[in-house]
Structure 1
Amino acid sequence: MIEIRDKQILINGEPQIIMCGEIHYFRLQQKDWQDRIDKLKAAGCNAVASYVPWLCHEPVEGAIDLTGKTKPELDLGGFIDLCKENGLYFFVRPGPFIMAEMKNEGLPYWIYEKHPHIVPISWDGKEVPTKTVDYLSPGFLQEARRWFAAVMAVIEPRLITKGGNIIGVQLDNEIGMLSWVSNSPDLTDNVITDFFGWLQTRYPAQTLQSRYPIDWDNQEAREKELRSPREEYATALLCDLGYYMRNRFARYVAKLRSWAEESGVRDIPFVVNIHGSSAGRGLLFPIGISQLFEAYTQAPGYLSGSDLYFGDLTMGNFQDLYLINAFMDAVHLPDQPLTSVEFNCGDGNFDCSHGARYDPSAVDLKMRMCIAQGNRLLNYYLFAGGYNYRLHEKPHNGNDRIAFTGERHGFAAPISPEGELNYTYPRMAHSIQTMMAVSDKLAIMEEEHDEIAFAFIPDYFMTEYSYPGSDKMKEMVQNLEANRADGAWEMMARAILLAGYRFGAIDIQNRPINPETTRVLILPSARYMPVRIQQKLITYLQAGGRILLYGEVPLYDMEGNPCLLLADALGVKPRGYKYSSDRYYLSLCADGWAAPRPEVRTHFAQRLEVGKGAEVLFRLYDGGEVCGFDAAVGNGRAVVIAAQYNCDISLFQTILEKLGAVPTLTHDCPDHGIFMTSTAAPGVGRFLHILNLDGFDKRLHLYENGRALLGGQNLLLQSRSGVMLPLHLTFGDVMIVYSTAEIAAVEKDSIRFHLTQEEDVMVIETTRQVAASKDYTFCKNGSRYIVTSHKHAKIDDDINVRFYD
């Protein structure tokens, strides 16, 4: 039995952390399956995941092979059963789309030949440049349903609810991604007809005709007008098309789930994965959330899973990972936990050019942050490489192989196509083993937050479709892109995290906000903001809420209509903008309580006229116009920075403290590049999670509410390392009060630690006796033992503390 409850994954009633490794059975010979499974188990994983490629299993229409009769490596059931024999759970990903660098993204060639109308056309009637299809085309649905019936017949008897090992089924893969990365919305005849029907349910006939002056009764005319929209309704189409596509994707996912359930596949999680991280950053990731959140929140029983391709976790991108985890959680239903179904691992050598080389810490640091934020399942992708065989029915496309990566696939994986371990495997395995040693604790813990939350507005990321011929669409999209992430994440979010604040996010578009649960709201704000959100923010402020607004005071709603509700409530009158250029060095000067501060260069500022009660914080050097202020609004307060500012950690901490939020966790290291948070569960204990993002060692003391932690120990954080240190953590009749070493294994009569310092200290409370050892000394005070290691962590990082009655 598997349940999703209270942001936990429970298997047979026990909360679990699932560590998967993606192994593509179809890219390996059967004789190699066990070897790859052995290496996955040795790394500490407890589950295997794999795509199921339709292209491979039905290359010829009507001849589905899921048993290996045509090629032994296509025995899907055999591979799943072998994983079960090895005590591993299984996460199955049967498409229909799988991507995975497969030709046609994993769809058989014959589908396109049989149903050419499923290939979308887009703006101006042009064919899309990617291998996507009209998901809701009757022809495609007919074929996909038959595929699902076949593959679910293999999955159903192997479900964990039937005594098997399958714990989850993914529905399709990266839905909508190919359309948005190419800015090519699906505008086939079928889709436009469906879109028209959807519009009729959303708007009365007279409103719809006024909104879109189109001859709706003329099919040819409406198709032309929507594929090549006029400026007079371009911004309306930008919004409506985004909302419609969310609905369309949700209906597609619901169909796939219904087909699975028809075949008896039920009472397990159905997973929808979210795309969007690229080039080592997460700035675009919320576009995937925006596209798909209606799909995985439409009913109980769904999980969302991130695709995380960040490479190394550094000072340049750590805030991205933290934010997108928070944004995913912000739109979840109360029971839905965080998961990552493509958690990139390996060395980064994706094109076999040796032009990229991840640090061994890459997976370790990212995994530690994700676990600290509440991820319950991580699927290491791609865990093991393999080979792309040639199709028997040759498509004559240059190499006739199943994928476009050539003969070898997964050259960057920790396990090469030949089965060799690369340099990233040991560190990855060490980190997985460390988490799994205390997985029963981590599986129920939640991150502790300070009294701040980051605002998430899904519609700010509904920018995947912008008609190239529309200046209005372009202007709106560019402004949203400039304000929703880049500046707010690069400067404000990074500074806040480096100041020690821990926070979640709130979907202020779809969820209530009130000062009782959210003391301070961090708000990246664009020139455009929905009317309803502006009204909601005003109500929040008047009730005593506090806001740090960074970006622009909004002037318009999301369709470009003037809307100054929030500006009026803040008591400001926008007076235009100033921009830097190659010969004009726009600069800001601090004023009021923000002063004294050095003058700061910026690339843009919104000029504001503020009311008499506001305190000016920033002015333009040239002209003295205001672009930042502090003002009371009702019973609340707002600090506004309507300009690009630098990553001034002390400034943002001062702002938040003046708004009433103080960081709980702090340290005294003069160097930045330290990320800290904590997790806890009532009656269980806590963990401190600390990452050193830089390539040099750091020394520091840790404090909580100004009081020293870890007995005041001077902690050494090694370069590009992370530690997860226990606080008042209970194991039966033993409680670890604190430890500078990580827990490596827990047995009935012993606890093994991974040392992290020159001299580690473990304070243990128990009614039992601590056994003497040459590896440590201890002193006793009542039921408390202070154990001091004799080993230096860089020489030998393993120590075992034994107990006896």
Structure 2
Amino acid sequence: MATLPTLHDDLVLSGEVHYFRLDPSDWEARLDAAVATGVTTVATYIPWLVHELPDGSFDLTGRTRAQLDLGRFLDLCADRGLAVIGRPGPFVMAELKHEGLPSSLFRDHPEVVPPTWDGRTPEVTVVDYTHPAYLAACRRWYEAVIPLLADRTPSRGGTVVGVQLDNEIGMLPWVTNSPDLSDRTVAELVAWLVAAEGEQEVKARYGLDPADAAAWGPALRSPGEDVVLALHRDLGRFTREKYAAYVRHLESWARELGVDVPFLVNVHGCWGGAASMFPLGVSQLWKTWEGRTDVLPGTDYYIGDLTLEKLPGLWASNAFVAATTVPGQPTGSMEFEVGSGDYGESLGVSSGPEAGPLKLQTCLAQGNTFVNYYLLTGGRNPLLFEPVGDGNDRVAFTGERHGFAAPLGPEGRPSPGYARLADATTAATAHAGLLRAARPETPPVTLGFVPDHYMTEYRYPGSDRDRRFVAELERFRGSGPREILTRALAVGGYAPDAVNLQDDGPLDLAHDRVLALAPTPYLDDEIQARVADWVRDGGRLLLHGPVPTRDMLGRPATRLADALGITVGDRRDERPGYFPSVVPADDRLAMAEVRGGFVQPLGVPDGADVFARVAAADGSPAAGEPCVVQVAHGAGRALVVAADLPCLLPVWERLLAGLGAEPLVRPTSSVPGVVVVPTATPDGTRVVHTLNVSPWDAEVTLERDGRDLLAEPLRLRARTGAWLVQEPGDAHARLGWIGGTECAR
């Protein structure tokens, strides 16, 4: 048997194959097809719903249906040298009814379904994850399935290299705005707050006696405007801890039952075919893997084609996940979309054949070390053991055929995009050692990640105050207004990573880096002070968006502005008939007057360097207030861009150069939209990923340390990528691989 890839040490490329949706006579052919695609690993959900029989027992051996013989499927994977990632839930989603939970759970334990806002019952499968009855049922399922996986880990001669704990925890409560607000959970929340902040603080905040248990449930299910922001923050932070406690339950059982390989947590968050909201899932779940090198976060990416519009969301999401990990804790993707996107079989959505390879290279360039293609092969949904009269009586709601958008369809036939995906996968597998060893080089710019800015999964429907608060967070957080900040950095050649600004203690960031932060108007004083202290000690800050003036409870909070000596004027937003605009203060930015979605006039200290001003009514730049300024603070300095500037790359380049930030590898492209990510191995070999995210063919030159990296320009087709390899001592890089070529398959 070939050496198995491991999640900690190797590049793991995987394909999702659902054994329970295939006739066992097709298992070998589908696994052989997976091998031909280039993957070294197979992942599969193992659904509780599918394996539980009407009498409450479990069939994992095929005694009632041959396709339930999980052990045989895993052994066939081992026969081919394929590693396996098992995904036993309890939740699995996968378009299964009840998200893969058995109907018996809800029949026997209706109490696990909690009330939500205003006491209503959720319309989807929402449960109290730590309810004793739910945990007891989950334990029974784990006792049935986990030993079978544990017996096939590499230490016992098998190929199961990882086990995922649950799936997309918190996703359904988020997308339906249905938080768990049962009396039991509310009592836990109150006890948690009292332990953290004291009884008097909690009483003052909510106007309720913590000892009056009967009052809290109704009050928090229908909160008043005076407490709604407090509940928004407290509920979000408490739920993070609750999810972490749930994962620890599952983890402890799996270890007790023999699992000795790493665990994975699958993170959700894509919305509307983009990853802009994905960090919401990171915000919900980062405590589940915080500081745990044996618990690995894996993303769910469903964005269709990777375009310039979608680039910032994907880039920031990868960076923010990495920012919540510690050294030695790999990151990757557990549901990496590689199909056509036509999930409704309507020919209404279609991703091109370049989509999967381009997204794959982007994630590998940013440091992902495991990627699971979802779904690699289609199949068929079996019937339920007992009909329920729901219209199809199958285990899933997609009909009989499933996975019709996959590279290998329900009948095993390749899709039009299969050849391109197989070419990229085979190339990555062939160079797996180099790509795994080559880690992103330290970039000149780091994005600031504030998890609480993405804590918008729950908002009370009856509150205008909560609605406005969430709208402000969604508009300005993470990548800044219109996602300009991340787009300008990624396309400008800066390849930013990220830092979690809610980590405890001083900001752990070298002072030779630029911290790029899109803060929203709400930022807790604690974080403002952490950033201000870092600047004072020699750091360089790029602040893009409204200068924060309030904390997450809506109270005044101006520590950062005060430290920088800035006074903040009223923000002016665009509206019908009013077009806030910015004019350069001089010719340094080489910029004409530009319209912005907002401008915010600033009062600045003596000696501040003004780059741009709010356009005055008469068009005179001298008459406008500053809105783009650089100020000194101690040994450091900050550039405050309190305006919605467009993505004019030369303007951002000049602003960043003023802070001393220069790309490690400077791209020059015939079209905008080329992303360059320099990586390096410990022995000094450099791998430079060059990605053309634009819809136009590009001619690209690359410069490093004042020298051309290539002997001649690189020509990249639209939405394709290449990687270049430069050995130590070589004057030029050579082409390691280029996508977009015709594949003979």
| TM bracket (short chain) | over 0.9
Contact 2:579 2:595 in 1 (8 A): yes
**TM-score, scaled relative to structure 2:** 0.95
Contact 2:564 2:633 in 1 (8 A): yes
Q: Pick the structure with more strand per residue.
A: 1
- Partner of residue 352, structure 1: 345
1:204/1:695 CA distance change after superposition, 3 Å: closer
State the distance in 2 between where 1:257 and 1:489 align: 39
1:192/1:515 CA distance change after superposition, 3 Å: closer
Alignment size in residue pairs: 736
- Partner of residue 725, structure 2: 726
Alignment of 1:101-180 (within 5 A): 101-180=95-174
Shift of 1:127: 0.8
Determine which structure has more spread, i.e. the larger CA radius of gyration.
1
- Partner of residue 362, structure 1: 355
Secondary structure, in 3 states, of the residue corresponding to 1:158? Answer: coil
State the distance in 1 between where 2:264 and 2:561 align: 41
In the alignment, does 2:36 pair up with 1:37? no
- Partner of residue 599, structure 1: 593
State the distance in 2 between where 1:503 and 1:585 align: 31
Q: Residue type of the partner of 1:513?
A: L
In the alignment, does 2:200 pair up with 1:206? yes
Contact 1:311 1:358 in 2 (8 A): yes
State the distance in 2 between where 1:209 and 1:102 align: 44
Q: Residue type of the partner of 2:379?
A: G
State the distance in 1 between where 2:743 and 2:373 align: 28
In structure 1, list runs of 5 or more residues that go unmatched: 4-8, 730-734, 744-753, 757-792, 799-805
- Partner of residue 628, structure 1: 628
State the distance in 2 between where 1:795 and 1:472 align: 55
Q: Which of 309, 326, 343 is the equivalent residue of 2:336?
A: 343
Secondary structure, in 3 states, of the residue corresponding to 1:742? Answer: strand
State the distance in 1 between where 2:112 and 2:573 align: 46
Q: Residue type of the partner of 1:386?
A: G
Contact 1:453 1:518 in 2 (8 A): no
Shift of 1:172: 0.4
Provide Cα deviations, 1:590-640, integer angstroms capped at 9, x if missing partner.
114645421111222222222222122222223523322111112111111
Q: Residue type of the partner of 1:702?
A: L
State the distance in 2 between where 1:380 and 1:796 align: 20
Q: Residue type of the partner of 1:44?
A: G
Provide Cα deviations, 1:254-286, integer angstroms capped at 9, x if missing partner.
0001111121112x1111011001223111111
Secondary structure, in 3 states, of the residue corresponding to 1:576? Answer: coil
State the distance in 2 between where 1:582 and 1:795 align: 50
- Partner of residue 672, structure 2: 672
State the distance in 2 between where 1:516 and 1:415 align: 47
- Partner of residue 621, structure 2: none
- Partner of residue 663, structure 1: 663
State the distance in 1 between where 2:670 and 2:575 align: 35
Q: Which of 359, 368, 388 is the equivalent residue of 1:375?
A: 368
In the alignment, does 2:240 pair up with 1:240? no
Alignment of 1:85-484 (within 5 A): 85-266=79-260, 268-297=261-290, 299-484=292-477
Contact 1:97 1:173 in 2 (8 A): yes
Secondary structure, in 3 states, of the residue corresponding to 1:384? Answer: coil
CA RMSD of aligned residues (A): 2.1
**TM-score, scaled relative to structure 1:** 0.88
1:377/1:796 CA distance change after superposition, 3 Å: closer
Shift of 1:489: 6.0
Q: Which stretch shows the higher mean deviation, 111-120 or 659-668?
A: 659-668
State the distance in 1 between where 2:168 and 2:743 align: 44
Contact 2:445 2:516 in 1 (8 A): yes
Q: Residue type of the partner of 1:338?
A: T
Q: Residue type of the partner of 1:699?
A: E
State the distance in 2 between where 1:406 and 1:794 align: 36
State the distance in 2 between where 1:738 and 1:31 align: 52
Shift of 1:505: 0.5
State the distance in 2 between where 1:178 and 1:377 align: 25
Q: Which stretch shows the higher mean deviation, 293-302 or 589-598?
A: 589-598
- Partner of residue 527, structure 2: 533
State the distance in 2 between where 1:739 and 1:541 align: 37
1:138/1:360 CA distance change after superposition, 3 Å: same
Contact 2:582 2:614 in 1 (8 A): yes
State the distance in 1 between where 2:235 and 2:509 align: 34
Q: Residue type of the partner of 1:669?
A: S
Q: Residue type of the partner of 2:664?
A: T
State the distance in 2 between where 1:552 and 1:795 align: 48
In the alignment, does 2:522 pair up with 1:522? no
Shift of 1:403: 0.5
Contact 2:708 2:732 in 1 (8 A): no
1:148/1:576 CA distance change after superposition, 3 Å: same
Secondary structure, in 3 states, of the residue corresponding to 2:687? Answer: strand
Shift of 1:328: 0.6
- Partner of residue 701, structure 1: 701
Provide Cα deviations, 1:409-439, integer angstroms capped at 9, x if missing partner.
1110001101100011100000011111111
State the distance in 2 between where 1:736 and 1:74 align: 55
Contact 1:726 1:737 in 2 (8 A): no
Secondary structure, in 3 states, of the residue corresponding to 2:467? Answer: helix
Shift of 1:718: 2.3
Shift of 1:346: 1.2
Shift of 1:22: 0.2
Q: Which stretch shows the higher mean deviation, 618-627 or 163-172?
A: 618-627
Q: Residue type of the partner of 2:690?
A: I
Q: Which of 602, 613, 625 is the equivalent residue of 1:608?
A: 602
State the distance in 2 between where 1:538 and 1:698 align: 41
Shift of 1:695: 3.5
1:518/1:97 CA distance change after superposition, 3 Å: farther
